[in-house]
Structure 1
Amino acid sequence: MESRSGRRRLRSSSPTEDRISTLPDDLLLLILARLRSIAAAVRTSVLSRRWSGSGGLWTRLHEIVFRDITFPSLEAALGRVVDPPAVSLLEIRVPDVHRPGTETNVGGLGFNSLLRAAAQLAPEEFVFRFPWDLTDRSLVVDMPCFPRTTSIVLVNFFLFLRVPDGVDFLALETLSLSGRLPDLDPWLSCCPRLHALRLRRVFSEGELRVISASLHELSIFRLYQRMHGINIVAPMLKQLTMSFFSSGASISVLAPMVEKVSWDCRYSKPSIVFGLWRLEQVTLQMGETQGHVPTLQICAHATSSILGTEEHTFAEEIEKHMIAGFSVLELHLTTNGHAFGALVFHLLKMVRICGSIRRLKVVLERSTVKEECPFDCFCEPWNWRSKTISLSALEEVEINGFQGYGQEIDFLKLISQCAPMLKKTTMMLSEETSPSNDESAKI
């Protein structure tokens, strides 16, 4: 009796049928899709004969994701998809396990043939992420035609990426690039339905040209280039985001339909200067949130190590960034003990500022290093106290870091004389100002 039950227990613990193979294909494909990795899906083939047959059940997935397959094996893996289904996503992430010197010339590894193999699957969305350390930057790669693809994302692509004549992306709506910025003219000319262009951490040695009749969204985050210029012509553009470094490039933006603007330019050497003031940053925000007032913000830094009288250059540089209307002017000034009135009135007399701003905010930031402003200091290159400017729209003035020094009182008096519509003045005292000192009595 015991022997028979023991035999029964032995038979029940040794399965004779492949139960996974009896599951419907849709359920098996759903399991594989949840793995989000083709390599993991291939390894599961040991669980089922049918799972591993006919080239592998994974070849029938609608989302094909290669995340941990080395570059030389990728093309062979793509070749196993003999009869591709309607692929919704093809994502290739080359693992960052190589270091310079561990691979030979990457050009011999077949970038062009790999991209052609990817294009044959006709995915709706194509994502290619590559560790830039492996790339031979002199290699020229031809982008094949992706006739059904609506979204292409290329990350850390530092090769010369070229669109050959006759290649069109008729379905492409979103293009995202990171790495070396290619010549965008061929891309945009063959993408008649492109609505969104997103460039993130891109490097360019020439002019940035974006000319498109279909573009609705342009996002450029951290553009590094030997700045020759920015030229944007997009009559249907609704949203523009720009973040870049400049040393004084030409800027031209034609986007009459734009509704949301986030523009941020940071300056590097050679400096844009006015007297002792060095321009550090110019930002323009419009329509970011509901009820947000369009604002132009200028950051400048005063230091005795800079001497210059380039008044026109300073103003012209700031005017380049006035790509949309604004009604608030914010000035963030690191004074280091120097007078700021000459700089502020130099800006306020600009035609596109004096006639449009309704609110002026001046933030005076004090340096931890105390500097004395000597008599006849170059921070006051001309007698701004005798100037008259028509600030016909100005209704509100706010000054943060106010200490009540003579030049600050003079500045406040002159502003009130030039702004007949002024309704409100707010002064936030500096932390160094005591309510009992002489400056507070003047205020």
Structure 2
Amino acid sequence: MDLRSGRRLGSRPLLQQREQRRRRGPGGADRISFLSNDMILLILARLHCVGTAVRTGVLSRRWRGLWTLLSDLAFRGIYPTTIEAAFSSFNATSSAGAVSQLDIHLPTRPEAADANSLLRAAALFSPARLVFTIAPAYVSEPGQHYTSSIHLPCFQHTTSIELDAQRFTVEPLAAGEFPALERLSISGTIVYIGDLVTRCPRLRVLKAKLRGLGHLLLKQELGSLKDALGSRGVALYLDICIYVRTPTVSLLSEAADLSPQELVYTNTCSTHVWAQTRNLPCIPRATSIEIDMAAISFRRPSHGELSALERLCLSRCNILNLAELVSCCPRLRVLRVDGDTSRRDITVHSTSLQELVLGTYQDCRGVNVVTPELKQLTLDVRSDQDLGTSVLAPLLENISWQRSYTWPAHVFNFWFLESMSLQTAAINGKDGAWLSAQQLPRTHVLSMAMRASVSSRSLLVQLTNFISYLVNWWSYALGILLSRVPGLQDSTLRER
């Protein structure tokens, strides 16, 4: 049957013919179909998603089913039933130990039964590395967690496990070991963590994020973890998030007794009552400490020093003597303090500090910073008109200085200065590219926030005088600038 265009109905569609010509190379060969299996598997592996790899089967019949030969399997945002159907395409007997990495990222709030079923199926493959993540969900109440439990089965050949269960309760099965496990990263409402560690005889690194546990239960888990670690030499990275209405540092001390290399402690409860003054825990092995809790005032450690500490971040807590605290941290490189409301001087003397961030200092009396290695300074202070400032940092590259007044400082006439800031400006180079400080000289921008206090009658007169003052001041400043440029004379400004 001929169509009005003259093409027969049974002929190959025009678009299909164009696709065939596009896929064929100069010699007429099909460039996609003639790829080797190793090259196709390399392409599929670079997709980092099994779902996308399956859909590539539309390119050629040879591509269909090749994804089952991948050694790295990643399932991202796919529902558990679909993942289990994909598992059925593998032969559990022949694939055991052949999967080097299994990465499963489930959508928000799956059923605990589905998560447990997937973990049991993953244990049959026993991949060298397992990543099992549940997408975060919005939680309206502090400390809220799910009552359902996720049971971690035993993996015989797995050397690394990363399990992020969000607010599900996580506990190991009643029996079994992890004979090859060397690295364990686990996050959620973890219970029986000490029992889990004792089943990992080759464990070298433990990263534990404890969420949703009550005060007594968390204390019990920290005690069991201390007994399980003992003197095994496991590198511990501990992250604790708790909601306790009564401020206390007992749990912080319990965590410090574990001697972690990195410690993050957060109490999400907010209170405005200063209840306790305590010494900052001394953790000689710690390289990073982050504490976020209210109603606590910290002094320097009562004994010893933080000899290995390189990063210290303190939020919503009061520091009684910042200079003493810095002096007991000889290797400190990053210091961030946000939330101090003390009425005293800011004194920081350090030969190792490279980044300094000090925020929300109220009624500050003076600033004295001596840091020969400092490269980034962020400072936010609020004080009256008298503020002595001394900053000695010859290598400083980036600065962000916010200076507010407790009472607007009178400048002249009817103008009052409320705040001012000094910022390192980013320079837009050729073709819109942002140039770094090493490419161009550093540029700083000074900004001032001022307000007028005058009656409406004299506003026009005062404003005219103010503009005239600015013009005269700018002419004077420009004259000084031109006088320092070689080849230009002061007469240049007068002639113009």
Q: TM-score range by the shorter chain?
A: 0.5 to 0.7
Q: Which 10-residue stretch deviates more, 246-255 or 291-300?
A: 291-300
The Cα shift of 1:336 comes to: 9.1
Pick aligned residue for 1:392 from 460, 476, 482: 482
1:80 equivalent in structure 2 = 224
- Cα contact 2:238–2:260 (8 A) shared by 1: yes
1:414 equivalent in structure 2 = none
1:40 equivalent in structure 2 = 169
1:91 equivalent in structure 2 = 239
Mapped partners of 1:422, 1:77: distance in 2: 79
- Cα contact 2:425–2:443 (8 A) shared by 1: yes
The Cα shift of 1:344 comes to: 2.6
1:171 equivalent in structure 2 = 308
TM-score, scaled relative to structure 2 = 0.53
Spell out, residue by residue over 1:234-256, the C-alpha distance to the aligned partner (whole angstroms, 9 max, x if none). 12211112233333222221212
1:441 equivalent in structure 2 = none
Q: What 5-or-longer segments of structure 2 have no aligned partner? A: 1-119, 124-151, 178-190, 428-434
Mapped partners of 1:262, 1:231: distance in 2: 16
- Cα contact 1:393–1:419 (8 A) shared by 2: no
2:161 equivalent in structure 1 = 30
2:372 equivalent in structure 1 = 235
Structure 1 position 254 matched with structure 2 position 383: no
1:185 equivalent in structure 2 = 323
Mapped partners of 2:275, 2:372: distance in 1: 35
* Distance change (3 Å), C-alpha of 1:92 and 1:54: closer
| Superposition RMSD in Å | 3.9
Tell me the number of residue pairs that the alignment of Structure 1 and Structure 2 aligns: 307
Pick aligned residue for 1:138 from 275, 282, 285: 275
TM-score, scaled relative to structure 1 = 0.59
- Higher RCO, 1 or 2 (CA under 8 Å, sep at least 6)? 1
* Distance change (3 Å), C-alpha of 1:213 and 1:272: farther
Mapped partners of 1:346, 1:282: distance in 2: 22
How many percent of aligned residue pairs carry the same amino acid? 28
Spell out, residue by residue over 1:48-95, the C-alpha distance to the aligned partner (whole angstroms, 9 max, x if none). 433798943167671111221123432222001113262442111113
- Cα contact 2:154–2:176 (8 A) shared by 1: no
Q: What 5-or-longer segments of structure 1 have no aligned partner? A: 1-17, 307-333, 358-388, 396-416, 425-443
1:29-428 equivalent positions in 2, closer than 5 A = 30=161, 33-35=163-165, 40-42=169-171, 45=172, 47-50=173-176, 55-57=194-196, 62-81=206-225, 82-84=227-229, 86-95=234-243, 98=245, 106=247, 111=249, 113-133=250-270, 137-182=274-319, 183-221=321-359, 223-248=360-385, 249-286=387-424, 288=426, 290=435, 291=440, 293-304=443-454, 337=463, 339-341=465-467, 343-344=469-470, 354=477, 390-392=480-482, 420=492
* Distance change (3 Å), C-alpha of 1:240 and 1:49: same
SS at match of 1:194: coil
SS at match of 2:348: strand
- Cα contact 2:417–2:449 (8 A) shared by 1: yes
Spell out, residue by residue over 1:200-232, the C-alpha distance to the aligned partner (whole angstroms, 9 max, x if none). 3432222222121211111224x2312212221
2:46 equivalent in structure 1 = none
